[in-house]
A and B are shown apart, each in its own frame.
Chain A
Amino acid sequence: MSQSSTNEARYQRLSVMIVEDSQPMREVLRAMLQSVGVKNIIDARDGQHAIRKLSEYQVDLIITDWVMEEMDGIELTRWIRNDPVSPDEFLPIIMVSGHTESNRIEMARDAGVTEFIAKPLTGVGLIQRLVAVVEYPRPFVRTDDYFGPDRRRKVESFTGEERRAAELRDRDARSA
């Protein structure tokens, strides 16, 4: 078995919940996850819906949008980290958002998000975060006013793939 197919097979046992109020964006995320081998994918349309589904399904990883009308991704993250009835306060949470300003990203970190992906999505961005949550999990920290992944960890660098991202951007620019 080649390294690539081994890598692909690795994700098939993961159960991933997508929390996103936009159906087309859910479809895109689902297609990307399936392409890299994820088989168990649970959809939720907002934070409240996700909480209900978390009581029904075993989930290993959440990928959530930020802005949603009923209950947003920040509120959902705080609930998972701090609510007494949360099924897993250590659940890895990848936030996907169009909010890319540094103060917004800090807000997400302060809520207890594990990793952050800026929209629009890219294959590199998604896989980089999947690798990060599997290979480089953060220790958790509990203080008087915070519980969640250690916010001090530096982002791991993937030199080769950054180059790939630049190539893809160049390709997109050429085809635009």
Chain B
Amino acid sequence: MAQPPKGTYEVIHQPNKLKDLVGGPARMDERLIAKAEAALADAVSKIDLAETAKDSIVKLDEAVERLQAEGAEPAGPERTIYTVMHDLRSQGASFGYPMVEKIATSMNRYLELGEPGQRGHNDADAIKAHVDALKAVVATKMKGEAGAIGQQIVAGLYKISRTKSK
């Protein structure tokens, strides 16, 4: 015999307001996709990550400074670094800076090993290494994979983020 569901369970079928607004079927079509892709490419071509990342880099520098301060409480700055790096990871992937994407990925993988602040600011050097590498990539407008040197930088940071855990 079937068991009755535990607790309450209500299914609500709402009127489809969006369908009413669009006034008919919305379909996938190649021309619309091409227009969206063209708009995406055009918007991306106008964005210079070296410029748009300036505010983010100021935030990262301030957060690292707070982490390194005597008796610092690390949770706040680490949360800021995580948020800013997450944003830069997406920007790097979207705007032609895979090195930025990789450095930010490494940074956040490291921070995700514990709740913000849990690892303590003894790790400020590891965080600073990521921030400094990212600043160098942005300052030199290092687009693309940046060859062997770029790979070495990323490999070094990945090594830090995978092994320097408590």
* A contact residues vs B (CB 8 Å cutoff): 3-4, 6-8, 10-11, 13-14, 21-25, 27-28, 31-32, 34-36, 60-61, 67-69, 90, 92, 98, 119-124, 126-128, 130-131, 133-135, 137, 139-145, 150, 158, 160-161, 164, 168
Pairwise interchain contact B43-A28, C-beta atoms closer than 8 A? yes
Pairwise interchain contact B9-A143, C-beta atoms closer than 8 A? yes
Identify which of A6, A8, A127 gathers the most chain B CB atoms within 10 Å of its CB: A127
Bound Cα distance from A29 to B37, whole angstroms: 11
Nearest-Cβ distance from residue A39 to partner chain B, whole angstroms? 12
> Could you tell me the dominant secondary structure of chain B's interface residues?
helix
Pairwise interchain contact B91-A130, C-beta atoms closer than 8 A? no
Q: Which of B12-20, B67-75, B127-135, B152-160 lies at the interface?
A: B12-20
In the complex, per-residue mask of B29-44: 1 if CB is within 8 Å of any chain A CB, else 0: 1111111111110111
Pairwise interchain contact B31-A31, C-beta atoms closer than 8 A? no
Given contacts A32-B43, A69-B80, contact A4 B32 (CB under 8 A): yes
Bound Cα distance from A14 to B23, whole angstroms: 11
The size class of the interface chain B forms with chain A is 35 or more
> Could you tell me the dominant secondary structure of chain A's interface residues?
helix
The number of residue pairs between A and B whose CB atoms lie closer than 8 Å in the complex comes to: 158
B58 within 8 A of A: no
Partner of A141, one of B12, B34, B36, B89: B12
Bound Cα distance from A135 to B18, whole angstroms: 9
Pairwise interchain contact B7-A3, C-beta atoms closer than 8 A? no
Pairwise interchain contact A127-B21, C-beta atoms closer than 8 A? no
B1 within 8 A of A: no
Partner of B47, one of A6, A24, A124: A24
Pairwise interchain contact A36-B8, C-beta atoms closer than 8 A? no
Bound Cα distance from A7 to B90, whole angstroms: 30
Pairwise interchain contact A25-B91, C-beta atoms closer than 8 A? yes
Bound Cα distance from A23 to B38, whole angstroms: 19
> A140 contacts which chain B residues (CB < 8 A)?
11-14
Partner of B91, one of A7, A24, A158, A160: A24
User: Closest residue of chain B to A11, judged by CB?
Assistant: B22
Pairwise interchain contact B36-A10, C-beta atoms closer than 8 A? no
Bound Cα distance from A58 to B13, whole angstroms: 22
Nearest-Cβ distance from residue A140 to partner chain B, whole angstroms? 4
Bound Cα distance from A131 to B24, whole angstroms: 11
**Which residues 66-123 in B have Cβ within 8 Å of A in the complex?**
79-80, 82-83, 86-87, 89-91, 93-95
> A69 contacts which chain B residues (CB < 8 A)?
79-80, 83
> A141 contacts which chain B residues (CB < 8 A)?
9-12
> B21 contacts which chain A residues (CB < 8 A)?
13-14, 60
Pairwise interchain contact A143-B22, C-beta atoms closer than 8 A? no
Pairwise interchain contact A10-B22, C-beta atoms closer than 8 A? yes
B147 within 8 A of A: no
